[in-house]
Amino acid sequence: MPEKTNQKIGIMADSHGDPEAIAAGALFLKQLDCTGLYHLGDICDSTLWKTADECVAQVRHHGIVAVKGNNDHTLAADARGRSDGGIRAATIAFLENLPLSLTVGSAKLVHSRPFVRQLGLSAMIGVMGRREADKFFRENANGLLFRGHSHKPEMISTEEKEIRFSPLTAGQIVELSGHRPCIVTCGALASGSVIVWKPGNDRLECHSFYVNIEKKTLT
């Protein structure tokens, strides 16, 4: 994907079976003029079978490109083995066929860890600690990784050869060119967290929005 100066990429993660959050997040990002929308996995929740069809319907309706999360994998595997789950075959197939990673411009998108070739399905789980971050940085000298899974917005980078974990807050703008290589945890869409990446000038914008005013309000 060419990295145009005015291009905006909208990134979300971890909607965990909340179709209203997916719809609200997509509309919010479109209002910010994002031309590409990406979901970093756990679209569905393995314990919320009744919402799976609508979650996938919202992803498809809004043209969101997604990677597979561990909940998506578990739900699809369980549903495939049962005849009484009530989940559409098309929904199961959609979740099963999601990739474990995507490359968008200079960035890699995964659910949790980027080491898909070594870990396979296990890459969808596990923490992004110092050892994992150091491995990614050594293998990607100018790399940028977007991930979900951990639910709290965060950036991992190096400063004076030390690995730094820095929380990200709504309204924060980060000039990534001064922090690469780095790893960005998007935060949970179910809590209203989304990120806008401007690849042309390598800038990150952190946002939050109201998911459902009756259920959860962000501060």
Tell me: the pLDDT tens digits for 206-219? 999 865 434 433 32
The model carries a pTM of: 0.93
Write the CB contacts of 31 (distance below 8 Å, at least 6 apart in sequence): none
Residue extents of the structural domains in the chain: 9-208
Separation between Cα atoms, residue 59 and residue 188, nearest integer Å: 16
The two structure tokens encoding residue 156: 């991992």
Separation between Cα atoms, residue 22 and residue 24, nearest integer Å: 6
Distances in Å between the Cα of 111 and the Cα atoms of 5, 106, 159, 218 are 27, 17, 25, 23
Tell me: the pLDDT tens digits for 157-174? 998 889 999 999 999 999
The two structure tokens encoding residue 142: 């100018």
Whether pLDDT at 148 is above 50: yes
Top CATH class of 9-208 equals alpha beta
- 3-class DSSP state for residue 68? coil
